[in-house]
Structure formats: structure tokens, C-alpha cells
Amino acid sequence: MQQLRRILLCALCVLCVLCGEIAPAQAAETDSLPTAGELAPRVTIHRDEFGLAHVIGDDDEATIFGYGYVQAEDFFWQVEDAYILALGRYSEVHGPQGINSDLLNRAFEIVPRSRRDFPALDRKSRRLYAAFVEGINHYLNTHPDVRPRLIERFEPWHVLAYFRHVALELTFRFTGLSDDILPRRNPQIWAATGSNGWTVSGARSASGHPLLMASPHMPWFGFTQLMESHLHSKGGVDGAAWNFIGAGFYGSPTPAMGHNDRVGWTLVTNRPDVADLWRVKFSDPQRPLAYEYAGDYRLAEEWTETIRVRRSQGLEDRKHLFRKTHHGPLVVREDDQTMLAAQISGLFEAVPMRQALRMMRARTQDEFRTALAPMQMLYMNVIYADCDGNTSFLYNGRVPRRNPRFDWSQPVDGADPAAEWLGVHELEELPQVNNPAAGFLQNCNSTPFQVTDGGNPRLEDFPKYMVGDGDVRNRRSLRSLEMLRGVNKITFADWQRLAFDTEVYWARQELPKFAAELEKLKASNPKAAEQVRPYLEHLLAWDGRITADSTAATLCTAWYELLYGPSYPGETLRPQFEGDPVEQLAALVRAAEGLADLHGNWKIPYGELYRAQRTSRVADLTDARFVDGGPSLPCLGGHGPMGVALTQYYSPSIDVPLVISQKKRYGMAGVSYLAAWEFAPEGVRGASLVPFGVSGDPRSPHYFDQAKLLAEQRMKTERFTEQQVLRHAIHSYRPGEEVSSPSTSE
């Protein structure tokens, strides 16, 4: 009997294990997903004086449903564009410019793997993904005048594909492959994307409370432009309420940065090594798919896909052959036998929404770190503050653990089993600083080893392969260190003003040196010195700050671009100027003459030349076209490589007779969301802006209204508590209800 009991017990255990394994798949097949009819009555949208949507839902599903709806309501064109990209069909809509993105999407099998993996997600994630796309679909169903270009109905698994493809777009450059293989085909623009993140402790603020600054620098057009959002979930019958305001990408079901009523964070682009290449050899002529591995062979998989490409005459079908190994898809052929396989850490393992919700719900620093610990965010520095007085910096990245005998900055031997990844580094193993004695932290796409004064992480304490930007000490970070060292008893109003600082660090550091060089030139070549003198004297009389009426700022920028080149990172002199101050001074003359040739005068006020203008439905920055006679406002940010905190990058001046005349320079990337926050024991207050406005509709009063804030260098007050939201609501409605036109009243 005892033996029979043991057998039955073992059988029961096996049955439990088997049921545990198949239950999720069964649940995915049998669980009904939430519908618009269920969700719409449980959420209310309140629009404030700037048109910002404050989404208040009875529970998480209703809130995320409302978020999908307002994204479509504000800018459906951009939401759909992001998902066309994520589904690997960008060329079908935009032509050959999308081919690299589509090729990578197909090589990494984003679509089939996302469709296959969705049923295996946890029930909460599946239902929230479904709620989000149901919000988008509900908008389309209730607005039949809005016509999708490609996606008639959004599916829940599309969100998983979106997460994965956006991650691929942003991280594939970490492989180190050449620009012609990268997606999006505008490497100079991608290199310029970044951020400034600052925080000071209560010891440096007038109120005694921590302050945090978020200043991401992303493209103003295309799938990485940022939208501000406010989500408030009442939690439902079995969940905790949460309230979060911040910013994220169009198409994402959660914001990426911001604050709740206790904690907040901003993200700053970093370069952890989260991508690798393996050199794979196909050396058996009898078996073309056999590749060398561990003294033997393994077989690669090969398949063909058709990519549709829009051409002027219609759609063209192009067949492409793809191949993958256990290392990942093959992305480059080096010779007849050798190819490179690529992989991104966590591309298919991470479930970002699960971690995002835990971060947004965190009430303490310990809870926030627990939320970060699963390493679901593939990269990005995290700068944090909370109402308990804590500040911290984390060099975040899902960094694979690797064998240190290999040089992981180069392709490694794909035949050697020792070159396999060995898991992922845990949170505690990453560079980080908590509550520094100096009372401040900063990062501006710069080294994690100089984020404060004293107590910084040490380079020698981390694997050589972990940190890809350990030696980056750019001028923005040096200027930020200067500014934060000088912060003492700063008020919240002054903290906001600090975000708009336009001092040109390079000018303050370098112009005195050029004054000395001019004196030498007077002795060696008086004629050349006389040519330089009026322009350099104009710069030397300048206070080094960009203002709307500064002509010196315009001249300085033109000179800098000649010396260092117009593209990012642009902090190294071009070869023809290295070690030659005479040639550098001669470039100042050419810069002034170039301004005069193009604009009729070399003394041009910065605010007249550098402008903000919004054009609608721009898929990529290279597609943006501006009109000098159209509506625009002064844009007073400066190039990040010059060390300007208020960072902005512009289109070039172009004048080709009978073809194009675009002499003014227009903002294209830079400060894409700007927010200042104060963390008091009783809660968080904030101020913010986006560079244009919340609506993508040129007919809306909120299409370009916040550009005025940026031009005047001031932020709008956040409406965060439910009482604040209701007090400032211009109109309120449930998704799908008919609403009156948004009010333009203040």
C-alpha cells in the first residue's frame, strides 16, 4: 500500500508539472481578451489647456486602453507609422529608404517570433497589450474618416513586435557594423540622439528636497519623437492604484520616463555592450548550410522572404535570402566562406511592459531597484530621485557575461564554444552611484566614471567589455559638472531656468586662446591678421551665451562647424586644422564670408536664422522639408558638441537656384521633452514641455502651441493630482464619445 501511495504521489506530481507547463498556452487560447465595449465606460480622458490628455481609468486595463485611444487621437499617422516599421513593411509604404529596417526585421524574424511568443506571455501582459491596441482600434472604429495606410486592425501581438523592432533599431548600431548596414540610413542623425540628466540632493536645493531634470535629445520627427502622457489607474478591485506622468514614444503602451507621487527617473542614452558579432565559417562545399562549431559542424537554417518596395510606378516585389545560426541571423558576408552573425542581448527574452509597470508603481528606492533587477530594459542610464531624499545613477544595460579572453569589441570566433554568452550581469554588478556626498549627479551620454565629484565608479572594477563609453568626457558633461557644482540653495523656479542654459562651453574655453594666436599672427602675417581681427573681436566681446539677438552666436556656430564638421560627435578638429591655429583663424574668415554670401550679412541674429517649424507626417528626418516663409519661431538651443546644455541640432542652409531655397535652419533633433521635478515628502511637483505640441493635426490649436514655450524658455506647470486635473480640464470625455473642438483658452 505504501508503495502504491508513492507511485500515485509521483504520478500526481508529474501531472501537476505537465499541467503547469501547458496551462499558460491553454489560458492564452481560452481567455477572452478585453474589448472596447468593456473598457471604454471605465476610463475618462481630461484635456487641459495645452491639450494634454490625462487618462484616468478604473483599473490598469482601462487606463492602458485609454492611452492607446489618445495616442491615436493625437497622432494616428505616427502611431501607425511606428507599427508599419515594427511589422517589417516600411518599404511597402515609404520606398527604398525603409529597406535596411525591413531587412533587419526579417533577418531577426521579429514578426513570426512575436506572433508565436504572444500566447506564452503572462496573462496580465497579454490583456494589457490587447487593451492598448483595442484603444487604437476603437479610435478607428469611431472615426471612419481616418484612413489607415496599411494596418486596418491592430493585433495584440503587434505590441510585442513593436517593442522588439524598436529595440533592434536603437541597439543594432552597437554591433559596430558600418553605416550602410544600419537601419534608417541617416547615421549622423542617430549619432546625435542623446540626453542630459541631472539631479541634486536636498542639500543643494532651497527647499531641502531633491530636484531632477529630464532632457532627452531625440529626433523631432519620426518614430522616436516623444509624446507627453499622464496615466492614472485606480487599480480596480484587486490592484494598487498608481499615477504617472512623463514621456515615451508613440506606439508604446507605457511612458519611458517620468514620476509617480513618490519616485521619478529620467533616461540618458549610454553604450553598454549589449550586441555582438560571431565570425561563422561555411567550409564544407558538399553541405552549404554546414558551419564550423566545436570541432564539428552545425546546420544553419535558410529561408526566402519577399519585401514589397514602393516605387514611383507602383509596388515592386524583391526576394531576399536569409540565413541564421544558433548565434543569430547572418548579417554580413565577408568572403565566400565567412559570414557574420549578430545578436542583441534580451531582444526576445525581455518583456518591457511588465518591468515598466513595476517601475511606475514603485513607492521607495528599494521597490524601484527591485523593479529594475530583471534587466528588461536593454540599455539607458537611469538617473533617479524620490520623496525620501534619495538620488542615484545607474549605468543600466542587459550586458551579457562573457569569457574575458576574447576581444568583444571585434567579431569573435563563432566555432569556439567558449565564445558563447554566459548569462547576464546582474543589477549590482553595473556601475552606479547612490546618494553621493557631493550632492549632485549628471550624465550627458558621457562616462559613468565621472558623474559626480568623489565616489564615482572605477573603471578597473568592471569587465573591459561592459562599458562602451567609459572614456567619453564630452563638453556637455563638463558644462553640466560646472553648473551643478555651482548649485547652492537653488529654488524650483531657478532649477527650471537652468535647463535653458545656453552658454557655449567651447567659446569660453577656446576664444581666449585664439586671442593670443591673433597676436602672434599680427607679427607673422599682418594682412591675414587684419582679415581675422573684426570677426574675432566680435566674438571676444560676446558673453558666450546664445540669445535671440546674438550675432556672435551665429558666427561662432558657423566657425565651429567648419572646424569640427557639422555632424555629431564633432568634438575633434578636422584633420586639415589639427595643430594649425593659423588655418583655424582663416576658417573664421571663411565662416563669416559664407554667412554674408548666403544671407547678405555676416551679422545675423541667432533667432532669425535658427527656427522651429513643424511639418506633418514626416517619417524620417531626411524627409523633412521646411519653408522659410512659413510659420516658425526662434529656436535658441545650440549644438551639443559645443557644450551647450540646451541642445539642438538643425537642418543646413540650402540655396540651389531653381531647385530649393531653404536658407534658415530648422530644429530637427535635440530637446524633445524637457521636465523639471521636485520631490517633497508630501509629493512631487513638476513643469515640462514638448517642442511642438501634443497634436499631430495641423488644424489643432495644440499642433505648435508649446513651441512658444521653448522660444520663450519657460515650462508649463504639470497637472498631476486628480484635483489639479479636474480643476484645469477644458473638456472631459470617454473614448469614442463626440466631443467639442478643444478650447484655445488659457
- State the amino acid at position 108 in one-letter form: F
Strand 381-386 relative to strand 391-394, pairing: antiparallel
250 close to 227: Cβ distance less than 8 angstroms:
yes
So what's the pLDDT on residue 8?
36
Does residue 574 register a pLDDT over 90? Answer: yes
Q: pLDDT band at 507, cuts 50/70/90?
A: very high
In the chain, pLDDT over 70 holds for what percent of residues?
93
So what's the pLDDT on residue 186?
57
Does residue 9 register a pLDDT over 70? Answer: no
Beta bridge partners of 299: 290
pLDDT digit string, tens, across residues 359-399: 999 999 999 999 999 999 999 999 999 999 999 999 999 99
Query: Once rounded to an integer, what is the mean pLDDT over residues 441-470?
Result: 97
Angle made by CA atoms 60, 66, 68, in degrees to the nearest 5 = 105
- Backbone φ, ψ for residue 738 (5° rounding): -70, 130
So what's the pLDDT on residue 89?
97
Cell readout for 274 is 549589449
Query: Once rounded to an integer, what is the mean pLDDT over residues 126-148?
Result: 97
So what's the pLDDT on residue 67?
98
Q: How many CB atoms lie within 10 A of CB 249?
A: 20
Query: Once rounded to an integer, what is the mean pLDDT over residues 396-416?
Result: 97
Q: What is the mean pLDDT of the chain?
A: 92
Radius of gyration of the chain (CA): 27
Q: Which of 326, 327, 319, 284 is nearest to 303 (CA)?
A: 319
Does residue 200 register a pLDDT over 90? Answer: yes
So what's the pLDDT on residue 139?
98
Q: Which of 396, 476, 472, 465 is nearest to 433 (CA)?
A: 396
| 48: CB partners within 8 A, 6+ apart | 54, 719, 725, 728, 729, 730
Does residue 30 register a pLDDT over 60? Answer: no
337 close to 367: Cβ distance less than 8 angstroms:
no
Does residue 580 register a pLDDT over 80? Answer: yes
- List own/partner pairs for 323-327 with CB under 8 A and 24 or more apart: 323/289, 324/107, 324/109, 324/300, 325/278, 325/280, 325/291, 325/298, 325/300, 325/414, 326/293, 326/298, 327/278, 327/280, 327/414
Q: Which of 20-29, 100-109, 291-300 is least confident?
A: 20-29
| 484: CB partners within 8 A, 6+ apart | 198, 200, 204, 440, 442
Give the orientation angle of helix 156-171 with respect to helix 123-142, to 10 degrees.
100
Query: Once rounded to an integer, what is the mean pLDDT over residues 114-128?
Result: 96
Q: Which of 61-70, 231-240, 580-589 is least confident?
A: 231-240
More confident residue, 654 or 464: 464
pLDDT digit string, tens, across residues 481-501: 999 999 999 999 999 999 999
Q: CATH 2.30.120.10 residue ranges in the chain?
A: 275-344
Does residue 94 register a pLDDT over 70? Answer: yes
So what's the pLDDT on residue 655?
82
405 close to 383: Cβ distance less than 8 angstroms:
no
CA distance 7 to 15: 12
Beta bridge partners of 259: 245, 264
| 711: CB partners within 8 A, 6+ apart | 612, 633, 634, 635, 636
Collapsed DSSP state (helix, strand, coil) of residue 266: strand
Does residue 201 register a pLDDT over 60? Answer: yes
Query: Once rounded to an integer, what is the mean pLDDT over residues 313-338?
Result: 96
DSSP state of 400: B
Calculated CA dihedral for residues 598, 601, 606, 608, nearest 10 degrees? -70
CA distance 434 to 301: 47
Cell readout for 394 is 545607474
Q: pLDDT band at 621, cuts 50/70/90?
A: confident
So what's the pLDDT on residue 64?
98
Query: Once rounded to an integer, what is the mean pLDDT over residues 437-450?
Result: 98
27 close to 124: Cβ distance less than 8 angstroms:
no
Q: pLDDT band at 28, cuts 50/70/90?
A: very low
Query: Once rounded to an integer, what is the mean pLDDT over residues 685-692?
Result: 98
Q: pLDDT band at 191, cuts 50/70/90?
A: low
CA distance 473 to 589: 30
Query: Once rounded to an integer, what is the mean pLDDT over residues 617-624?
Result: 83
So what's the pLDDT on residue 2?
42
Q: pLDDT band at 405, cuts 50/70/90?
A: very high
374 close to 425: Cβ distance less than 8 angstroms:
no
pLDDT digit string, tens, across residues 517-545: 999 999 999 999 999 999 999 999 999 99
pLDDT digit string, tens, across residues 348-364: 999 889 999 999 999 99
Give the orientation angle of helix 581-599 with respect to helix 526-540, to 10 degrees.
70
So what's the pLDDT on residue 564?
95
So what's the pLDDT on residue 699?
96
CA distance 556 to 543: 12
| CATH code given to domain 275-344 | 2.30.120.10
CA distance 305 to 351: 27
Q: Position of cell 515615451? A: 248
Does residue 14 register a pLDDT over 60? Answer: no
pLDDT digit string, tens, across residues 718-737: 999 999 999 999 999 999 99
So what's the pLDDT on residue 569?
65
537 close to 594: Cβ distance less than 8 angstroms:
no
